[in-house]
Amino acid sequence: MALVPVITIDGPSGSGKGTISQRLAAELGYHLLDSGALYRILGCVVRQQGLDLNEHEKLARVATDLDIQFGERGPGSVTVNGEDFSELIRQEVAGEMASLVGAIPAVRKALFERQLAFRQAPGLVADGRDMGTVVFPDAVLKIFLTASVEERAKRRYNQLIAKGIGAILPDLLRELKERDARDTQRAVSPLKPAGDAHILDTTSMSIDEVVARVLSLATESKD
């Protein structure tokens, strides 16, 4: 298992991790782990079932027992205990709930094992907050994507508007700042670059430029 190469893509919300990771996995023919989706799924289940965020051990058990299937009903689909969660987990509220459950150590521990299972030949691109620091510290290549919070809010705004979902830029900016603060200040697995990560500021880079840069680093890392 240790021989299966992993490329980790970490960074704050809206840094472009999702899009870059998908493109990279497709280019390299690797599997993809969208670890944020796991936290979002749990956040949605907590909300749906009205579970108490203070009952950490119960939440951890729920996280362990959920039947989660990615791509079972087509590319990008997410099925949880037989129910289609594909749209639900992409809502803003799911991101907020994810950030709350993600601050609970017992939940992170429960999701840790699930994440390791994604490491399958010929390789894995893992997208998240602590992929290079905690989950795959032996990754062959670690990337930390950043962008100014204003640029990230603008990207999120454009994404929502393109999907026909109403959005207010100042609200998105405030929510992103709150989420950044919670993700970077939490006691367990805070968002921070691994010591050996390549930090890429994508504020004024296009998606193609970022993908090309990471691919060239991936080629270098093989030499």
Residue 5 vs 128, nearer CB to ligand C5P: 128
Q: How far is the CB of 72 from ligand C5P (least distance, A)?
A: 19
- Closer to ligand C5P by CB, 103 or 141: give it: 103
For strands 78-80 and 68-70, give the pairing: antiparallel
Nearer to ligand C5P, 80 or 98 (CB): 98
User: Which residue is closest to ligand C5P by CB?
Assistant: 36
Pick between residue 35 and residue 202 the one whose CB is nearest to ligand C5P.
Answer: 35
Q: Coil, strand, or helix at residue 96?
A: helix
Q: Which is nearer to ligand C5P, 39 or 118 (CB)?
A: 39
Contacts of 67 (CB under 8 A, 6+ apart): 79, 80, 81, 82
Contact set with ligand C5P (CB under 6 A)? 13, 35-36, 39-40, 95, 98-99, 102, 128-130, 179, 183
3-class DSSP state of 215 = helix
Cβ 36 to ligand C5P, closest distance in Å?
Answer: 2
> Which is nearer to ligand C5P, 185 or 216 (by Cβ)?
185
For the stretch 69-92, what's the b/e string if a residue is b when 16 or more beta carbons lie within 10 angstroms of its beta carbon?
Answer: ebeeeeeeebbbeeeebeebbbee
Q: CB 1: neighbour CB atoms within 10 A?
A: 8
What distance in Å separates the CA atoms of residue 190 and residue 180, rounded to the nearest whole number?
10
* Contact by Cβ (8 Å): 199, 193: yes
Closest approach, Cβ 69 to ligand C5P, in A, equals 18
Contacts of 59 (CB under 8 A, 6+ apart): 42, 46, 51, 53, 101, 104, 106, 107
Distance of closest approach, residue 186 Cβ to ligand C5P, in angstroms: 8
Work out how close the CB of 155 gets to ligand C5P at its nearest, in angstroms, rounded to a whole number.
12
- How far is Cα 78 from Cα 72, in angstroms, rounded to an integer? 7
Closest separation in Å from C-beta 130 to ligand C5P: 5
